[in-house]
Chain A
């Protein structure tokens, strides 16, 4: 797409939302803190949601079991980080990274491998039937949660931030937690890599084309099922990475954490437009910001706020902010 053809209005929603709430918050430092916290939360949700939006766009598959990969990633991180106490206990961020990076890689590998099996045995038999997809993928998630309980136990497990990632950096009076900045950087990296793959490579071109018209992609001679399996595995691995990030953000993990995040992910996908990566980013940032602003301003409305946001967006653009041509 030419740069001049890009629709900037949805991108503008993020600063518009941030500026609109500023008068209600009053204090600039609190506003900055909440905004960065919202962006960090949004970036983690984006990492989790990015794979799922492509899975839906490419094969019209509603995977309500995506949450299990989040939980799996987080639990794998507890094991890997737990075994690398020497590195997580250091006050140096770089030494901490020597533990966190392997935890991320292992979580992605495990979630990706389980994703491969999930696609083969749970999703593949129900292609083309949304009701069955919802039922069987939710069932898959329940089984996944139970298996996590068998391996790691049913109780909450603490996942403390490594020493060097704790603490707050002050910009004037505004305090920003270090980990939130790290989450923003990781989210931007994932978005950058995804965008590069989708817009600069032939595989990305095939994914974008498949999201629009998979039958035509097959008519051009490409085996889209293989492409779909690849996207499903990568999406599951990204959910695993998101699980590590989310677990560290919450500093504890429970087997049900995937189901809890699932609701937010689907709100993000619907806001962004099913199948759109850029839409998922905008949706995730809006959801993250909204959750933090309402949590501060009207805590009782925090749960409702994202549903209200989704309704408002759908009244403006019923197919989501970046609806894809099908």
Chain B
């Protein structure tokens, strides 16, 4: 079995007239949490959307679990047990929390068919999901919506979780909850690719790291090594962790 669950080789992405990704090379090791770091506008979100097939790679190759998914449609990629939480969380605000969860449980026709054991595990990670089960998702706070977005992504067992800035705009206490939840997910063996601006978040969770600049990955290695090298942090991110 390949030790990398996901690899991108020389991926270019154009959005209209704009050339956003200029040959991204990225490896996401199986069973690890990979942080994708970089300043605003360097192409992190575009990289995630290109992996999911929401934007088409104009050049290069994306391999998932040994399969070439470069030209695959988004539903096909998602069906390979890849879950995606976008930056805006993608919550269906006119639906209830229960209905949001039911949609993500693809084989369940009603809420009673969602795996009860897994649901209880999710409730233990994110109690707000249980508390507001029958409430419209649009009425939740930002933190609760983020919890719902992550819960929805893990309502079925996934091989890869792709999450875009889960801590954005959240209160520190909620961020700590989120870190605990990701630590548990990681311990369960799920591979996670996470875009994050919150450096503490990255330092506490990341196994491996890739740093992007101007549409390419300019550094890849272990999170621990980056966290210990202040000069490297300054040169890559313009700040010290």
Binding site for B on A (CB under 8 A): 1-2, 5, 201-202, 205-206, 208-209, 212-213, 215-224, 324-325
1/0 per residue, CB under 8 A from A, across B86-122: the answer is: 1000101111100100111010111000000000000
Asked whether any CB of chain A lies closer than 8 Å to the CB of B174, the reply is no
Q: Which residue of B lies closest to A209 (CB)?
A: B92
Asked whether any CB of chain A lies closer than 8 Å to the CB of B142, the reply is no
Asked whether any CB of chain A lies closer than 8 Å to the CB of B14, the reply is no
Whether B95 contacts A223 by the Cβ 8 Å rule is no
Mind listing 15 A-B residue pairs with CB under 8 Å?
A1-B94, A2-B134, A2-B136, A5-B136, A208-B92, A212-B92, A218-B54, A218-B73, A218-B75, A218-B78, A219-B86, A220-B104, A220-B152, A221-B79, A324-B94
Q: In the complex, how many residues of chain B place their beta carbon closer than 8 angstroms to a beta carbon of chain A?
A: 29
Which A residues are CB-close (under 8 A) to B79? Answer: 221
Which B residues are CB-close (under 8 A) to A217? Answer: 103
Q: Compute how far the CA of A312 lies from the CA of B49 in the bound complex, rounded to whole angstroms.
A: 42
Q: Which residue of A lies closest to B90 (CB)?
A: A216
* CB neighbors of A among B126-167 (8 A): 134-136, 138-139, 152
Q: Compute how far the CA of A215 lies from the CA of B102 in the bound complex, rounded to whole angstroms.
A: 17
Whether B104 contacts A1 by the Cβ 8 Å rule is no
Asked whether any CB of chain A lies closer than 8 Å to the CB of B217, the reply is no
Binding site for A on B (CB under 8 A): 52, 54, 73-75, 78-79, 84, 86, 90, 92-96, 99, 102-104, 106, 108-110, 134-136, 138-139, 152
The 5 closest A-B pairs by CB, nearest first: A221-B78, A216-B90, A218-B74, A325-B93, A209-B92
Whether B92 contacts A221 by the Cβ 8 Å rule is no
Q: Compute how far the CA of A208 lies from the CA of B75 in the bound complex, rounded to whole angstroms.
A: 18
Q: Chain A nearest CB: distance from B138 CB in Å?
A: 6
Whether A205 contacts B75 by the Cβ 8 Å rule is no
Whether B103 contacts A205 by the Cβ 8 Å rule is yes
Q: Compute how far the CA of A325 lies from the CA of B90 in the bound complex, rounded to whole angstroms.
A: 11
Task: Answer whether A221 and B138 are a contact pair too, CB < 8 Å, given A212-B93, A216-B90, A325-B94.
Answer: no
Q: Compute how far the CA of A324 lies from the CA of B92 in the bound complex, rounded to whole angstroms.
A: 10
Task: Indicate which residue in B52, B96, B139 contacts A219 across the interface (CB closer than 8 Å).
Answer: B52
Task: Indicate which residue in B73, B78, B95 contacts A205 across the interface (CB closer than 8 Å).
Answer: B95
Q: Chain A nearest CB: distance from B90 CB in Å?
A: 4
Whether A209 contacts B78 by the Cβ 8 Å rule is no
Q: Compute how far the CA of A202 lies from the CA of B102 in the bound complex, rounded to whole angstroms.
A: 8
Q: Chain B nearest CB: distance from A127 CB in Å?
A: 14
Whether A209 contacts B136 by the Cβ 8 Å rule is no
Q: Compute how far the CA of A202 lies from the CA of B104 in the bound complex, rounded to whole angstroms.
A: 11
Q: Chain B nearest CB: distance from A120 CB in Å?
A: 18
Q: Chain A nearest CB: distance from B104 CB in Å?
A: 6
Whether A219 contacts B84 by the Cβ 8 Å rule is yes
Task: Answer whether A1 and B136 are a contact pair too, CB < 8 Å, given A213-B92, A220-B106.
Answer: yes
Which A residues are CB-close (under 8 A) to B86? Answer: 216, 219
Which A residues are CB-close (under 8 A) to B99? Answer: 205, 208-209
Which B residues are CB-close (under 8 A) to A1? Answer: 94, 96, 136
Whether B92 contacts A219 by the Cβ 8 Å rule is no
Task: Indicate which residue in A2, A215, A222, A325 contacts B54 across the interface (CB closer than 8 Å).
Answer: A215
Q: Chain B nearest CB: distance from A172 CB in Å?
A: 43
Which B residues are CB-close (under 8 A) to A221? Answer: 75, 78-79, 106
Most buried by B among A215, A221, A325: A221
Most buried by B among A209, A216, A218, A324: A216
Task: Answer whether A206 and B90 are a contact pair too, CB < 8 Å, given A218-B78, A219-B84, A221-B78.
Answer: no
Q: A202-B109, A208-B99 are in contact. List 6 more A-B contacts (CB 8 A).
A: A209-B99, A216-B90, A219-B84, A220-B152, A223-B75, A325-B94
Which A residues are CB-close (under 8 A) to B138? Answer: 325
Q: Chain B nearest CB: distance from A131 CB in Å?
A: 18
Which A residues are CB-close (under 8 A) to B135? Answer: 2
Q: Chain B nearest CB: distance from A162 CB in Å?
A: 41
Q: Which residue of A lies closest to B80 (CB)?
A: A221
Whether B94 contacts A213 by the Cβ 8 Å rule is no
Q: Compute how far the CA of A221 lies from the CA of B81 in the bound complex, rounded to whole angstroms.
A: 9
Which A residues are CB-close (under 8 A) to B102? Answer: 202, 205
Q: Which residue of B lies closest to A325 (CB)?
A: B93
Whether B74 contacts A209 by the Cβ 8 Å rule is no
Q: Chain B nearest CB: distance from A112 CB in Å?
A: 25
Most buried by A among B90, B93, B96, B139: B90
Q: Chain B nearest CB: distance from A58 CB in Å?
A: 13
Q: Which residue of A lies closest to B93 (CB)?
A: A325
Task: Answer whether A219 and B54 are a contact pair too, CB < 8 Å, given A5-B136, A324-B94.
Answer: yes
Q: Compute how far the CA of A218 lies from the CA of B49 in the bound complex, rounded to whole angstroms.
A: 12
Which B residues are CB-close (under 8 A) to A215? Answer: 54, 74, 90
Q: Which residue of A lies closest to B113 (CB)?
A: A202
Q: Compute how far the CA of A28 lies from the CA of B136 in the bound complex, rounded to whole angstroms.
A: 42
Q: Which residue of A lies closest to B100 (CB)?
A: A209
Which B residues are CB-close (under 8 A) to A218? Answer: 54, 73-75, 78
Whether A216 contacts B92 by the Cβ 8 Å rule is yes
